[in-house]
Homo-oligomer: A and B are copies of this chain.
Amino acid sequence: MPEYKVVTSKIDPKDAVIVSAENNQHIVTQAKFALSFKGKEAKVGQVFKFKCLLEENQIGLTQVMMNKLGVTEGEMVTLQSVGRTISKSFSLIKQRITQPGKIFTKNEIDQIVSDITLDNMTPLEESVFLTSQMLQEWSIGEVECLTKARARSGETINWGETVIFDKHSLGGVPGNKVTLLVVPIIAAVGLTIPKTSSRAITSPSGTADTMEALGCDIEFTIDEMVDIAQNIGGLIAWTGGLNIVPADEKIIRDVQYPLGIDPEPMMMASVISKKIAMGVKFLVLDIPCGYGTKVANLDTGKRLAHRFSELGRLVGIRIESGITYGSSPVGNAIGPALEAREALTSLKNSLEAPHSLVGKSTSLAGILLEMAGKTIPGTGQEMAYEILNSGKAYKKFQQILEAQNADPDLKPADIEVGSATYEYLAPQSGYVVEIDNKVIVRAARAAGAPMDKRAGIYFHKKKDSVKRGEILFTLYSSNEKKLAAAEAELVKGDLPVTIEGMLLARE
């Protein structure tokens, strides 16, 4: 904890002149000034004057602001006070909230997406928009308009004759390295599956992080991605590296992430607009269901699957969903390096793979194989399992590793994991009945994951019987202090692992 000596700030925010509106950590609740240059205008909320840095008639602008106004050093801009301004979109949003039966028209949704993309809405206004989505049902037509408007905000890939397949998970389950098995299985039969994945936002590892732990490059231009996908059928790239659906970025950063909310219409539009931009035609959707995921129970999962399939029909993508068990981690490994090891081990020898990982990967891949007509309905999973077992999926994965500039002969043991470890022992004998994903995720993140790729958790026992004192799981970190912080997470609230017959509380 760095220490500083206090002096009274010589900067008075009430003074005028250096303008900064681009600070990610702050948002303007009320634009107080408008900067203008040759007809372009930018609203700003903050104006500082630093006499030690600037002369009386000078204004210091950040590079981002200069680009926004199209102004260069030495030119003159005007600065003007403005009153309270409410975006046009916000009036529409208030109407939908207050007028019974009101739903958005296509033009209204276009206006809102445009205002989000062009930074005409404040985060406060955006949070009202998102909150209303948590409380008001959207028609599928509105979701369609939102999806299409967002898809138009960025680039769209033209694949020519190539038919694009994809797999997407709604997330919320730790250890979900399923993509690393599904992509090579699908590509191994000659289908094209250019998968784009995110880095972890709130989880211990995103698929993009796990690929990096394998030594892969994950940032590609669209041309590079198309080239690899056309040549070998599959790759796993980082979504953030491509300029697809920029409308997403600002609202996620300013509102969804800080509040931890992801309402259904926005979530559906966010997923499917990216698929439209990517040119996807067949999509298998993984809907994890259960404690800690976005979908509390099977009925909610089925309803969501139905809405996705309807949305897909409206935008020209065939979508089938697999509702999967999400209350426990997938496989035994959590964290980038540990998950990379487990995925590679499973591809090389499926007999060494955890049942939950192989089962989930082959069932999702099976759905895609059936959708593609590669096999008759009901036999997809068997076919996927055969592709995995035969080593064809591993061979395809080696091509992917090579295309993404990693070592195709990488061994699982070559992937280094944290040297600071802590073993969590069974407090009594019995049967493991529950693993609390939220506690496990907090501990893995406290240990350093995903930034520390070597940090994470490895389960030795999941749905097994254990004897008192046996190791349930091992915590890994590159840093002793972080390991201690992760240990602290394990004892402060709910139990990470519950064993049948345990007395949970006595009061």
Give A contacts to B, CB under 8 Å.
Answer: 1-11, 13, 17-20, 22-23, 25-30, 32, 36, 45-46, 50, 52-54, 57-63, 66, 71-80, 84, 86, 90, 94, 97-98, 122-125, 127-128, 131-132, 134-136, 254-255, 257-261
Contacts and interface: CB of A to CB of B under 8 A. Distances in A.
Contact of A4 (B1, B59, B125): B59
Contacts of A66: 6, 8
A63 B7 CA distance: 10
Contacts of A1: 36, 78-80
Contacts of A255: 29, 124
Given A4-B57, A8-B61, 10 more contacts: A4-B17, A4-B59, A5-B74, A25-B28, A25-B29, A25-B30, A26-B29, A50-B52, A84-B260, A97-B134
B7 A58 contact: yes
A6 B59 contact: yes
A122 B255 CA distance: 11
The 3 closest A-B pairs by CB, nearest first: A4-B59, A9-B60, A131-B131
A6 B259 contact: no
Contacts of A127: 124, 127-128, 131
A86 B261 CA distance: 11
A90 B4 contact: no
A57 B124 CA distance: 35
A301 B50 CA distance: 53
Nearest to A201: B84
A5 B75 contact: yes
Which of A29, A72, A97, A123 has the largest count of B CB atoms less than 10 A from its CB? A29
B4 A25 contact: no
A190 to B, nearest CB: 43
Contact of A11 (B53, B76, B128, B257): B53
Contact of A97 (B45, B60, B131): B131
Contacts of A23: 13, 26, 46
A11 B72 CA distance: 17
Contacts of A257: 30, 84
Contact of A59 (B7, B53, B71, B79): B7
Contacts of A254: 29
Contacts of A122: 258
A135 B130 CA distance: 13
24 contacts: A3-B76, A3-B77, A4-B57, A4-B59, A6-B76, A7-B54, A7-B61, A8-B60, A8-B61, A8-B73, A13-B20, A23-B46, A25-B45, A26-B27, A52-B52, A84-B258, A90-B259, A94-B260, A97-B134, A97-B135, A124-B127, A124-B255, A125-B259, A131-B132
B26 A45 contact: yes
A271 B489 CA distance: 44
A73 B9 contact: no
A10 B60 contact: yes
A98 B134 contact: yes
